[in-house]
Amino acid sequence: MKKLLVPTDFSKCAGSAMKYAMEIALQTGADIISLHSISPYEGVDVDGSGLLWIREYQEAKAKALNTWIKKYKSNPRYKGVNISTKCNIGFTVTDINEVAKEEGVDMIVMGTTGATGVGGMLFGSIAGGVISTTKTPTFLIPLSGKYTEKCGFAMATDFENHCSKASIDVVSDVLKAHHQSILKIVHVLPIGGSKPPAQKEKDMAAKMKGATLEFNYLHDDHIPNAINNFLEISDSKILCSIAHRHGYMHKLFKGSITKKLAFQAHTPLLVLFD
């Protein structure tokens, strides 16, 4: 992992994401790009001098971004972490996606309110917009999310994951950053459903080289409840899943299921893409 992108609006949520990103960068040697996006509608003077005013406004925001970053750079623990900044004019979701692509970012680390669990993280928010449009692995960090070494790491799957090698490498790097080698694979079956063929486990193990996979099969007609219970029972502090059309993430975060989600608000979510 070489580059992390951390969008910020200077909020406490963004601060939690930045702290988490700093720890990952410290463990992996990755550089951090901190991005603040200014809406085209911000700072516009209605008397017709808007073009000049927005430039001054952007300069003030860039200064605020550098000030925000200083408190992280000044921490002796992160002395070796390289942080650069970008302050752009543009719509936030589009700007995040464009910077991630232009800079060849390996992972986006974003703060979320976590007020309504994972469902709240993914809908009606900037995080939701990013998840809906990006192909860059995205790590969603709730306000209470804190980096913890050797914490439990679970991956929800329907065994139809066809994510890229780059995404698999991100999982490996995040595991290593937490000094963890065990990946708890969880698959929810309908009540009375049968386990998938053993070859599915072998195929996944072949892709996730370097990690020790523990396969767990749950029988429940309510996927979110099943995964929520598993996170609690297994003491898993990070959840990972792969978003692909009509796949697990599609089922997990759609329609009425979304409203019933009851995930712990402190559970960081790593979203990969096929």
For the chain, what is the HEC assignment? CCEEEEECCCCHHHHHHHHHHHHHHHHHCCEEEEEEEECCCCCCCCCCCHHHHHHHHHHHHHHHHHHHHHHHHCCHHHCCCCEEEEEEECCHHHHHHHHHHHCCCCEEEEEECCCCHHHHHHCCCHHHHHHHHCCCCEEEEECCCCCCCCCEEEEECCCCCCCCHHHHHHHHHHHHHCCCCEEEEEEEECCCCCCCCHHHHHHHHHHCCCCEEEEEEEECCCHHHHHHHHHHHCCEEEEEEEECCCCHHHHHCCHHHHHCCCCCCCCCEEEEEC
Residue 50: predicted pLDDT? 54
Residue 263: per-residue pLDDT: 39
Q: How high is the pLDDT of residue 225?
A: 81
Segments of the chain scoring below 70 in pLDDT = 43-53, 114-124, 161, 244-266
Q: Which residue ranges form the domains of the chain, and what is each CATH number?
A: 1-145 (3.40.50.620), 148-274 (3.40.50.620)
Instruction: Output the pTM of the full model.
Output: 0.87
Per-residue confidence (pLDDT) for residue 49, from 0 to 100: 54
Task: Give the pLDDT of residue 227.
Answer: 86
